[in-house]
Structure 1
Amino acid sequence: MLVQMFDLLATRRDFFVGLLLEHVQISLVSIAIAIVVGGIAGILISEFQRAAKPTLAVVNFLYTIPSISMLGFLIPFSGVGDATAVIALTIYALLPMVRATHTGITNVDPSILEAARGMGGTRMQTLLRVRLPLALPVIMSGIRNMVVMTIALAGIASFIGAGGLGVAIYRGITTNNAAMTMAGSLLIAVLALVVDFVLGFVEKRMGMRSKAAKRTNRRLAVGALVACGVAAACAVVPGMVAGAPATINVATKPMTEQYIMGNMLKDLIEQDTNLKVKVTQGVGSGTSNIEPAMESGDFDLYPEYTGTGWAMVLKKGGTYSEDEFGQLKAGYRKKGLGWVGMYGFGNTYGIAVRSDVAKRYGIKTYSDLAKVTDRLKLGAEADFFERADGYDALCKAYGMRFGSTMQLDIGLKYDALEQGSVDALIIFTTDGKLSHANATVLKDDKGFFPSYECGNVVRTKVLEQHPELRAVLKKLDGTITESDMARMNYQVEEKGEDPEDVAREYLRAKGLLK
């Protein structure tokens, strides 16, 4: 596994370097804001002790909120992407910063403060020249702890479409690529250790009081500021250059086939137009987070499924059929969105039962399953339990009552079935692992699950601004069958091929990519 991980780091160097830079950017922005805001808050509550208890209580309360809950709470206000990630990370970074500043300042020896006041020092002078310098070791210790925590926590940013090394971790889990998950985790750990070492060096230098040391410290500080300025300019200026191509922001759900389609869109659009494409892969909770971001303009384009759009976006009841596609498109038009480029395959839900369980109870259909569900454990992705056409509706339609359920990531569900952690799974008909799994796919004898044909949802405004985009998306009409998609998923999930390579190979085979 270690050999595979280091081979992956070598062969996909550009991919990991890009994620590393994004991770550093998100983390450092959050850290800088937390140092300023938390430092000021810590100083204020040290000067006005009555405010200390309520302030620390509020910060403590925010710190106890689970990170995923925090992200979900922030999305309606700040959307998906880097901004929300920075806000969440800053909130979590405030506690160690506020506490360290407050503790450091309030624990300064009172006799020293009394001496400073006796020499005529004002309150501000005493704070700046005595209390803060003496509190600095405690504050620096808090900053070091906060920085390591923030860098590690930034991995969750990928859940809401932000960048960083969490993309590699989440993508590795989703595509059954343990080497990629380990590589992303290792880079986060190394980054945290390197930054902690640098801060330790800074802390040591700050403790040196000789004139020569102070001169050196000033030079190092100026050099660090210049380096940060150059790095910021390199990151910002290219996007501001006149004549730079417009960028289409493509989002994908955390599914192997969506990674593949995202890369197909990128390759085709960049080949056939002058547009650049940025793909945000594996946005957590899929439609729930992507569609609102489409309406707000954070994303421009993403692959979606008709049945999902009908139930989750338009909030329509009943079982969707493709005869209602006209109504679906009309509903999307009201939201400033359109469907362009229907791939040709459907990816509907299904239920698979572990083969030994199916044999033991003679289960062939959903109705057969309903008779024994009280003895079984069902596994499914998080959104299936919340969908209007999901778990509750399925149980009602068939009179099911499972003994227990387990929420599973899409990349882990077949492992859970194989290990006996669950007895039945909610599956997708294009799952790459399905044909090789120890599972029996059951017949939906009452036709519960609706049609889920796959196509592209694109913002109407983007099509108006870039009409050439429509022709590119139309090229994808009818290009992929269910068996094609299942085979491509298998290539990624079981053979370890990259989604980018699989997408490119398929498009070339179809004559769409030069």
Structure 2
Amino acid sequence: MSKLISTFQSQEHQFWQYLLQHIQISLISLFIAILIAVPLALLLRRFPKIAELVLQITGIFQTIPSLALLGLLIPFIGIGSLPAIVALVIYALFPIVQTTYTGLQQIDPSLSEAAIAFGMNRRERLMKFELAIAMPFIMAGIRTAAIMIIGTATLAALIGAGGLGNFIMQGINSNDVNLILIGAISSAVLAIIFSYVLHLLEKAKIRTILISFFIGLAILGGSYYRPADNHPQITIGGKLGSEPAILINMYKDLIEKDSDIQVNLKPNFGDTTFCYNALKSNKIDIYPEYSGTILETFVKDPTHSNDPKTVYNEAKNGIKKLNDFAYLAPTKFQDTYALAAKTSFAKEYHLKTISDLSNASNITAGFDLEFANRSDGYLGLEKLYGLHFNVKTMQTSLIYNALNSNAVNLAEVYSTDSQIKQYHLTVLKDNKELFPPYQAAPLMSEKLLKKYPELKSILNKLSGKITDKEMIEMNYDVNVKQESPATVAHHFLEKHHLI
């Protein structure tokens, strides 16, 4: 418990930011779902045959896995809050439509006949007693939708929409149970609060419910208000993990020290594809990318060189030609792919290089899906080294757990991972030089650089800085010692007299 409390205290500033994002996404989705579902149910009451079809369709929407739905929406809507809200609205429609329609169908026809006899028109009947009778059903559906929305909204972190899911993703990525608990418990508590508030409204009058609805909309709108600021602002995003978080905090400190530009950070914004698409769609302005990744993933022109300078120049020229992006000077460290094993396993089979793996039998390897299908990954190991393993594909953050628990005995790692030090692993030498250099450098549009030309000289202060050992230590400080990326980045810049 003390560890959980200390972790919360170290993340308190981000907690309130992520909580607000989660509430905003959830409320917007819930309000939109109500505005669509309730009128739709009122309309369907007049067309029972069509109602069955609509209920079946909205029910089918709920069978679509959340991740699949988000993936389907990205090509059409992009990334960020919008696709997350669209997905959440789709999931919330069914319970609200179903319960509202059911509640309206439960009204005794004789009541409607009596109301007609008293001269009430359709609108008067609806407002004076039909909605009041159906309200317990309607609120039950809204409560169900609200709980579903808040729980599913944790996945919004996967597409850069923020929210409490960021803690869960950080925890999985750094193998930190406390971060996972902070995200999960907070989401559960938020769902309970929403459910209780809606429960209180179940027996309220329609006027009270409508007033509460509009008050909620006003509060939601107010949460987006920001005072006018005349300073120029840019947004810097980072991939999942401690290393990108450290780098973007360095960028922020350097930029804000040497210019009047204010920097907004979006750490743990997503994987390579999300960050790249966010940069192309101007959701973010800068993010740190690796030279080998640019060539392999975006330019799709695998390098034939293992010289860091050559690879960097190929990446710089290739990405400029492809998207008119500027790729600034790189840092010194090489966060390249590597293969690692527990030291006991390496000693048993006398493993020092990747070629030595041919002497070991029945090797089970843990690779992520990307590495398993890359020419500079497992495909390259098969072609260049002639190696064949029993491969288990899994999320990158789970690979070290699998290796530590002996579920696999060989793992794909990154050469600056803190877990190498934490678990005392043996990293095998890439003696045939399969893995290209992966140097990190700021990636941005040429348009942004023309607007703020000072960014080049500011960010190039990191050129040739940060050794492999320093990066491993900084990752270790964040992942194991639980120091914040901002603190670790600031200490490094101060130590090297960059700020």
Q: Give unmatched runs, 5+ long, in structure 2.
A: none
Partner letter of residue 358 of structure 1? A
Compute the TM-score of the two structures, normalised by the length of structure 1: 0.89
Query: In the alignment, which of 393, 396, 410 is matched to residue 406 of structure 1?
Result: 393
Q: Structure 1 residue 338 and structure 2 residue 323: aligned?
A: no
Query: Secondary structure of 2:225's match?
Result: helix
Mapped to 2, the partners of 1:360 and 1:10 lie a distance apart of 43
Is the contact made by 1:341 and 1:477 (CA closer than 8 Å) also made in structure 2? yes
Query: In the alignment, which of 275, 278, 283 is matched to residue 293 of structure 1?
Result: 278
Mapped to 2, the partners of 1:445 and 1:206 lie a distance apart of 75
Match of 2:342 in 1: 354
Compute the TM-score of the two structures, normalised by the length of structure 2: 0.92
Q: How does 1:233-244 map to 2 (within 5 A)?
A: 233=222, 235-238=224-227, 241=228, 243-244=229-230
Q: Structure 1 residue 505 and structure 2 residue 470: aligned?
A: no
Match of 2:408 in 1: 422
Is the contact made by 2:40 and 2:97 (CA closer than 8 Å) also made in structure 1? yes
Alignment CA distance shift 1:167-1:136 (3 Å):
same
Match of 1:191 in 2: 190
Match of 1:442 in 2: 428
Query: Secondary structure of 2:418's match?
Result: coil
Partner letter of residue 383 of structure 1? E
Alignment CA distance shift 1:438-1:504 (3 Å):
closer
Alignment CA distance shift 1:40-1:287 (3 Å):
same
Percent identity reads: 35
Higher mean C-alpha deviation, range 223-232 or range 164-173: 223-232
Q: Give unmatched runs, 5+ long, in structure 1.
A: 208-213
Mapped to 1, the partners of 2:388 and 2:366 lie a distance apart of 13
- Count of residues in Structure 1 that have an aligned counterpart in Structure 2: 496
Is the contact made by 1:406 and 1:422 (CA closer than 8 Å) also made in structure 2? no
Q: How far off is 1:124 after superposition?
A: 4.9
Mapped to 2, the partners of 1:393 and 1:51 lie a distance apart of 56
Is the contact made by 1:414 and 1:433 (CA closer than 8 Å) also made in structure 2? yes
Mapped to 1, the partners of 2:9 and 2:386 lie a distance apart of 53
Match of 2:357 in 1: 369
Mapped to 1, the partners of 2:247 and 2:194 lie a distance apart of 37
Deviations along 1:194-248, whole A, 9 cap, x unmatched? Answer: 11111111113338xxxxxx7xx48xx657745752562352242xx2x532221
Match of 2:21 in 1: 22
Match of 2:47 in 1: 48
Q: Structure 1 residue 480 and structure 2 residue 485: aligned?
A: no
Query: Secondary structure of 2:79's match?
Result: coil
Q: Structure 1 residue 232 and structure 2 residue 221: aligned?
A: yes
Q: How does 1:461-472 map to 2 (within 5 A)?
A: 461-472=447-458
Alignment CA distance shift 1:63-1:222 (3 Å):
closer
Is the contact made by 2:168 and 2:180 (CA closer than 8 Å) also made in structure 1? yes
Query: Secondary structure of 1:433's match?
Result: helix
Deviations along 1:285-328, whole A, 9 cap, x unmatched? Answer: x2111112211111111111111000101111454544243332
Match of 2:87 in 1: 88
Alignment CA distance shift 1:120-1:225 (3 Å):
closer
Q: How far off is 1:125 after superposition?
A: 4.7
Query: Secondary structure of 1:346's match?
Result: coil
Deviations along 1:9-64, whole A, 9 cap, x unmatched? Answer: 34543321121111111111111111111222222333222222332232222212
Query: Secondary structure of 2:393's match?
Result: strand
Query: Secondary structure of 1:457's match?
Result: strand
Alignment CA distance shift 1:445-1:32 (3 Å):
same
Q: How far off is 1:90 after superposition?
A: 1.4
Is the contact made by 2:26 and 2:150 (CA closer than 8 Å) also made in structure 1? yes
Mapped to 1, the partners of 2:359 and 2:9 lie a distance apart of 53
Q: How far off is 1:448 after superposition?
A: 1.4
Match of 2:264 in 1: 278
Is the contact made by 2:7 and 2:482 (CA closer than 8 Å) also made in structure 1? no
Is the contact made by 1:339 and 1:456 (CA closer than 8 Å) also made in structure 2? yes
Is the contact made by 2:449 and 2:455 (CA closer than 8 Å) also made in structure 1? yes
Alignment CA distance shift 1:230-1:192 (3 Å):
closer
Alignment CA distance shift 1:106-1:369 (3 Å):
farther
